[in-house]
Structure 1
Amino acid sequence: MADLFDTSPPDGTSTAPRAPQGQGPRPLADRLRPAALAEVIGQTHILGPDGPLTAMIAGGTLSSLVFWGPPGVGKTTIARLLASETDLHFVQISAIFTGVADLKKVFEAAKIRHRNGRGTLLFVDEIHRFNKAQQDGFLPHMEDGSIVLVGATTENPSFELNAALLSRSQVLVLERLEPRDLELLIQRAEKELGHALPLDGPAREALIGMADGDGRALLNLVEQVAGWDPAQRIDTATLTTRLTRRAAQYDKSGDQHYNLISALHKSVRGSDPDAALYWLARMLKGGEDPRYLARRITRMAVEDIGLADPQAQALCLQSWETYERLGSPEGELALAQAVVYLALAPKSNAAYTAYKAAMKEAARTGSEPPPKHILNAPTGLMKEQGYGAGYDYDHDAEDGFSGQNYFPDGMKRPVLYTPVDRGFERELKKRQDWFVKLRAKRQP
């Protein structure tokens, strides 16, 4: 019986489809699809001599896999070639267009094929689009050996895939193509086309930059350039006028969102204003909500600058308010100024660390009451119980400091706040050391 969504011929070999009569030639990206894993450009960390896929093929033990990586880096191509080189029947489906009934047909066909002595490599594009129950549906067929699952996703599998599915699969990260890989791809395209692209050196580099690490996008651009007058040498200015730069990948709710805000935060913490501005610009270019950035920038001031520069938090709030009043794009400059200020400010996480330590102490000591001498006694009964007895009013004490205990009775006094010797906290450290000496002098 014929398999649903099966792109392979009956003998199981993988061949690219021919263009129907009356239609134009196959797209360049399809014509250049490698015929063997050795022809794949890039991904040498998994396909090289010591790569995990090389070892699997050599050992004849291909396990279920999850390919995690950006678009246009070869996930589909590698899956198809794996099937060919391990003599598995190749079936491709997309989680976007496949329902439960379709999956049942695919699984039933794989079972029949398995009983006849042939395995199936089931390639599932956008596998993260399946819900948790649908993902569970793959498990029995993976366990009985009727399918080898190869899933492809652009999202973090740790967040998007079931733990049970992940435990039965090996996650392999596919990387965006490097400029040298893309140049090799252009050379292959020129050989296929039969002529060189009419670009000068800088324009050729600009074309590679436009692809942003995506091989398929590059070949689509090459196909456009190949149709231009070969006698006219194109420079960068002309190229950028004729072609639209591919939009940078940015998912405001996915990995890119969290990866880039992490890069911004760590650049600020690392006192690198240039890197911090770069990641801020990347997020704004990607369409990130500036209000989200304003909130996170303020958090950076609290967490990483702290009391080493008390003005940092105030400046962040002012930049946030400035953005609200000006809007985009003018208000975004205020956020940029805040980022530069934070990156160059003295750093301290002493208050942040002290707060976390205080939370641990609070959890450890439970409901221990405050010492009675610092409690108010508005009723006679409370006075009889000793509330407020022996309280020293600090303003009446020498130096305005009584040195009395404010922790629960019997609790060993912890040291939670340890200021750093940087910025304004250097002054706070002097004050703290002074109070420590006075306390030691005045406590019995």
Structure 2
Amino acid sequence: MTDLFQKETTTDPGNPAAPLAERLRPTQLDDIVGQDHLVGPEGSLSRMLVSGKLSSIIFWGPPGTGKTSLARLLAEQTDLHFKSISAVFSGVADLKKVFAEAEQRLELGQQTLLFVDEIHRFNRSQQDSFLPYVEKGAVTLVGATTENPSFELNAALLSRTQVLILNRLDSAALMQLLEKAEALEERELPLTPDAREALVASADGDGRFLLNQAETLFSMNMEAPVEPAELAKLLHRRMAVYDKDRDGHYNLISALHKSLRGSDPQAALYYLARMLVAGEEPLYVLRRIVRFASEDIGLADPQALVQALAAKQAYEFLGSPEGELAIVQACLYCATAPKSNAAYKAQKSAWKSARKTGSLVPPQNILNAPTSLMKDIGYGEGYSYDHEKDEGFSGDNYWPESMQAEEFYQPVDRGLEHKIRERLAYWDNLRNQKNDG
């Protein structure tokens, strides 16, 4: 009979044949690097452990930031039975077995810490299956995901867990990992200072990837330190983490949009490069820039929309990489153009009013009268042809009789809209004079 209290075995960190990343797996919370907001003296997990009450948790963060290590350490420091499964390789039958064993342990007086890697890969009904076991205390759930839990996890499951965010490892944390690896191997990596920085940069915040690269370098037994150029030849360069239909996609397009809105061409160009270098579809970026030209610039500089559409046409004509310069031009034009969301706000207000007022009939004087009957009943009667007026402006009322005139479009005092604002004020003055007369 299986011992329900037996700890789940893993690769032995003391085994010299184990991968470097496994041999360096933290054995206490203090060994975790780059996550002081969780494991520091005032960290969320530290306070949770001091209180003696461990709630169910979702660890959300990039690959190689310590999610699995934290789950194992939590089980050890709380005397919970540790059980690990992966949503990639587990199905309904596996979950039923895990839950049955957890209930048996609970009857014997021990709770289970169930670590679920890639928890977002479970479908909605599978996620729901965790709920009764979490509620009755048979399972303390610790899930790990690289995806935004708000999009990928059930609201019911999120309401019963605490989402803790793991940061992408910065350069200092990655350098610390390299120092730990060198101490374990009792030798330094064969790198010049510049090559060492290049190695850290290539990891893109992923500690596991960095240690795997370091292990490859240790195995080469090189005598002289290598420069960055030689390092690039020895190691495959890692592409930036970027899933075009996932959270990274939305984060970067949001950063691009807000940099454009904030009139920072340098930051906008950086995020544009991040997306295109990572393989984003250029036409998607162009669609967003076209939208931005109307939403955030509008009539403050009508040429922004022209530039954005011209960039789309140029890219479709030239393709990559030549056409990408046209995208850059449109990006820089929009970033440096005067900003106005007056057209965007006007649309929202007008649409709201149209839904509210329904089918009010326009005044008869501006209705078309294509038939004699319509003329006889007054359609078009009294219409003022603006071009015949001295100012090219009649000042007539164009609103339904039962509706007060509304002001949807309110141009800002920037760019071309400064002139439009003056023109509208001029017409308002003429209209008021006519009404007063």
Q: Judge same fold: TM > 0.5, yes or no.
A: yes
Q: Cα distance, 1:12 vs. partner?
A: 4.5
Aligned identity (percent) is 57
Question: Structure 1 pair 15/179, CA: closer, same or farther in 2 (3 Å)?
Answer: farther
| 1:316 is the counterpart of 2:300 | no
Match of 1:382 in 2: 374
Match of 1:234 in 2: 226
Q: Cα distance, 1:90 vs. partner?
A: 0.5
Match of 1:396 in 2: 388
The one-letter code matched in structure 2 to 1:123 is F
Does the 8 Å contact 2:58/2:162 carry over to 1? yes
Between stretches 126-135 and 399-408, larger displacement belongs to 399-408
Match of 2:330 among 338, 342, 345: 338
Aligned residue pair count: 436
Q: SS state of the match for residue 144, structure 2?
A: strand
Match of 2:23 among 26, 31, 35: 31
Q: Cα distance, 1:99 vs. partner?
A: 0.7
Does the 8 Å contact 2:12/2:23 carry over to 1? no
Does the 8 Å contact 2:13/2:25 carry over to 1? no
Match of 2:216 in 1: 224
CA distance in 2, matches of 1:293, 1:17: 44
| 1:17 is the counterpart of 2:4 | no
Match of 1:358 in 2: 350
Q: Cα distance, 1:363 vs. partner?
A: 2.1
Between stretches 340-349 and 210-219, larger displacement belongs to 340-349
CA distance in 1, matches of 2:332, 2:13: 55
The one-letter code matched in structure 2 to 1:283 is M
Q: Cα distance, 1:15 vs. partner?
A: 5.7
> Normalised by the size of structure 2, how large is the TM-score?
0.96
The one-letter code matched in structure 1 to 2:11 is P
Computed over aligned residues only, the root mean square deviation of the Cα atoms, in angstroms, reads 1.8
Does the 8 Å contact 1:325/1:331 carry over to 2? yes
Match of 1:7 in 2: none
What's the CA shift string for 1:73-104, capped at 9, x where partnerless? 00010011101101110111111110101110
Match of 1:108 in 2: 100
Q: Cα distance, 1:397 vs. partner?
A: 2.4
Match of 1:200 among 192, 196, 201: 192
Match of 1:268 among 253, 260, 270: 260
CA distance in 1, matches of 2:76, 2:267: 45
Match of 2:49 in 1: 57
Unaligned runs of 5+ in 1: 4-9
| 1:413 is the counterpart of 2:405 | yes
CA distance in 1, matches of 2:405, 2:13: 80
Between stretches 404-413 and 79-88, larger displacement belongs to 404-413
Question: Structure 1 pair 105/126, CA: closer, same or farther in 2 (3 Å)?
Answer: same
| 1:121 is the counterpart of 2:109 | no
The one-letter code matched in structure 2 to 1:36 is Q
Q: SS state of the match for residue 440, structure 1?
A: helix
CA distance in 2, matches of 1:24, 1:85: 26
Q: SS state of the match for residue 221, structure 2?
A: coil
What's the CA shift string for 1:273-329, capped at 9, x where partnerless? 111111111101111011111111111111111111111111111110111111111
1:223-302 equivalences in 2 (<5 Å): 223-302=215-294
Between stretches 373-382 and 270-279, larger displacement belongs to 373-382
Does the 8 Å contact 2:349/2:408 carry over to 1? yes
Match of 2:364 among 349, 367, 372: 372
Q: Cα distance, 1:399 vs. partner?
A: 1.0
> Normalised by the size of structure 1, how large is the TM-score?
0.94
The one-letter code matched in structure 2 to 1:17 is T
Match of 1:75 among 67, 75, 81: 67
